Amino acid sequence: MKLYEVADDVVETDVLVAGAGAAGLLAGIKADDLNVDVAICSKGLFRKSGATVMSTGGMEVAVGHGDPTDNPDVHFKDTVVGGEYINDQRLVEVLTKEAVERLVDLERMGIVFERQEDGKLFQFAPGGAHARVVILGDLAGSHYMVALNREVMKRNIRMFEEVMITNLLMSGGAVSGAVGLDIKRGELIAFKAKAVVLATGGAGQIYRYTSNPVQNTGDGRAMAYRVGAELIDMEMVQFHPTGLAYPPERRGTLVTEAVRMVGAYLLNNKGERFMSRYDPQRMELSKRDVVARAICTEVREGRGTEWGGVYLDASHIPEDVIERRLGVTRRKIMFLTGLDLAKEPIHVYPTCHYFMGGVRAEPDCSTKVPGLFVAGEEMGGVHGANRLGGNSITTLIVFGWRAGISAAKYAKAANSKPLNPRDVAMERERIFGFLGRRDFIHPSKVRRELQETMWNNVGIVRTEDSINGALRVVERMKALELPKVGVPDGSRRYRMDWVEAIEFENLLTISEMVSRAALFRKESRGAHTRDDYPRKDNGNWLVHTVVKNVEGQMRIWSEPVELIKLKPPSA
């Protein structure tokens, strides 16, 4: 069997990057700086897919312009306290120390952040942290994407647009490449690569309501799991406090934290600023997990709005401030809800936003699988049990950069490994097997049921019973529905239903990981709220949960967190 007989195209490169958000693009740019051959694949359109382009509020960098008492050590402390002490402190150390240098690099690439009149950077305070978020209006994400894509295009980097990586290829225990489906042509590409960087973003699509784009189906985490990488803290899923609750068809769409940063109030149906009961000091700018739980409690106890949310009210803020700081957000909300943020309250409820849990990595972004690197939201451990607003973009920039350098160095030292045509043939059979299956179940049907189940059972608040309910659905779907998921055969170009069928197994894998890890952690910490174990338990649970595929079985265990720099007061 020859490779060309089983793949429609074969591409050879040193470093293959899966994902073209800011993390993937930066990894590609830095690898290219070290003179290795680089290819970047994106399931969606370049510049338009993924979460980075949607990001609004900016990034955390401790330059001390917004608050002279701020510095990287304070940033470290805020991040670890915010993460309820289960962050990997080695990663936080790198994040907070290198952010300042990376900010300068971004400005050199043309991403120039807003200044105060004296030329110093303008910095907002996100929930649970100092005034540290640098901004670019309320549209930072599209600025990052334009500048980084321009940088990529200046270089000799090969870009594969709308190519979905479906599985990694292994040789002698190390990564040797990956298989990709070219969605445009419906053809299979075998990528031969010395190193692979996974940067496919979050997995918000396992939930019914999410701020995440459709591409964020956890493909990278699922592929890493299949080849034996470890994943940590998968129960830690962030529900952003303010997703739209009205209109119902837009439920889950993000309303940026910047609205609260400029001073908007959260009100219940009695007109009370209810955060005074949950965090009287920080009020609306408490940590995200605290605000999300507070909103959930208000609604559960009957103090919600008619649309099952609470009010976010910015009508007391001068209109020129709203226009200057939140102009794009105001117009977006007007378009989606018909309501004017500057004049009337809108209805909000938490929405699945970010995965703190992800592939376990060293500070150089390497994983336990030789040749496999991760960057961006794909990487677990940086944010512990709760991420601070603005700290994700910082993660992309710092670790995207590092992943590119590490992958390039690895590729330079590694020998090219042959691809086994049999492995590619097996993946071809799997992918093309979805087409024309008899008596098939359409992927959208099971996807929606899975999303509803995860939302209801392993959402903001969980119990042993609810999680077990979710696991029963996941097990049933693995056994009964997954083998039947399929789509009609016919033209293979731009078959998004086919893509959805391929994604479904990944969604199931991620749902199982999140559920098993949530069941395992018998305490409440940060974003993980167990109604049956309502207290944080530093005595027993100052640990990472680790998930790994061991001979086809999902194994889970805990490992103590290394408190190398900062300990919780009670430990």
Ligand X SMILES: Cc1cc2nc3c(=O)[nH]c(=O)nc-3n(C[C@H](O)[C@H](O)[C@H](O)COP(=O)(O)OP(=O)(O)OC[C@H]3O[C@@H](n4cnc5c(N)ncnc54)[C@H](O)[C@@H]3O)c2cc1C
Q: Report the catalytic residues.
A: 240, 260
What radius of gyration do the chain's Cα atoms show?
A: 23
Give the residue among 540, 511, 526 at the shortest CA–CA distance from 448. Answer: 511
Q: How many residues bind ligand X (CB under 6 A)?
A: 42
- Return the residue of 27, 37, 39, 55 that touches ligand X, per CB under 6 A: 55
**Single residue of 28, 44, 127, 384 touching ligand X by CB under 6 A:** 44
1-9, 20-28, 187-195, 523-531 -> range binding ligand X (CB under 6 A) = 20-28
Rounded to the nearest 5 percent, the helix, strand and coil shares of the chain are 40, 20, 40
Q: Is 81 in the site for ligand X (CB under 6 A)?
A: no
Listed ranges 57-65, 111-119, 317-325, 474-482: which one lies at the site for ligand X (CB under 6 A): 57-65
- Is residue 177 at the binding interface for ligand X, with CB under 6 A as the rule? no
The least CB distance from residue 212 to ligand X, in Å, is 5
HSE (CB half, 13 Å, CA atoms) of 411?
31
Per-residue CA distances from 346 to 55, 272, 306, 309, 330 (Å):
20, 15, 12, 9, 11
Give the type of residue at 429: E
| Interface characters, 343-372, with ligand X (x: CB under 6 A) | -----------x------------------
Q: Which residues within the stretch 485-544 sit at the binding site for ligand X (CB under 6 A)? A: none
The CB-of-426 to ligand X minimum distance in angstroms stands at 18
* Closer residue to ligand X, CB minimum distance, 244 or 519: 244
Residue 403: closest CA among 371, 368, 357: 371
DSSP state of 53: G
> Does 56 engage in binding with ligand X (CB under 6 A)?
yes
Residue 379 or 542: the one with the smaller Cβ distance to ligand X is 379
Q: Does 254 bind ligand X (CB under 6 A)?
A: yes
Name which position in 13, 52, 329, 509 contacts ligand X (CB under 6 A): 52
Q: How far is the CB of 561 from ligand X (least distance, A)?
A: 22
The answer to whether 392 contacts ligand X (rule: CB under 6 A) is: yes
Would the CA dihedral through 343, 348, 352, 356 be positive or negative?
positive
Instruction: Return the H-helix or E-strand segment holding 161.
Output: strand 158-161
Binding flag, residue 49, ligand X (CB under 6 A): yes
Tell me whether the omega of the peptide bond preceding residue 72 falls within 30 degrees of 0, making it cis: no
Binding piece for ligand X, criterion CB under 6 A, among 40-48, 95-103, 303-311, 513-521: 40-48
The binder of ligand X chosen from 89, 216, 451, 509 (CB under 6 A): 216
- Residue with CB nearest ligand X? 21
- Choices 7-15, 41-49, 150-158, 486-494 (CB under 6 A): range interacting with ligand X: 41-49
Does 252 bind ligand X (CB under 6 A)? Our answer is no
**Which of residues 10, 24, 113, 121 is near ligand X by CB under 6 A?**
24
Closest CA to 64 of 138, 142, 130, 109: 130
Nearest CA-CA partner of 459 in 356, 545, 350: 350
**Which ranges constitute the DSSP H helices of 440-532?**
443-457, 464-476, 496-520
Q: Count the neighbouring beta carbons within 10 Å of the beta carbon of residue 443.
A: 24
* Cα–Cα dist 507/510, whole Å: 5
User: Minimal distance in Å, beta carbon 59 to ligand X?
Assistant: 5
Q: What are the C-alpha distances in Å from 151 to residues 30, 108, 160, 267, 363?
A: 11, 11, 16, 44, 25
Binding residues for ligand X, rule: CB under 6 A, are 18-24, 41-44, 49-52, 54-59, 164-165, 199-202, 211-212, 215-216, 219, 254, 354, 376-378, 390-393, 396
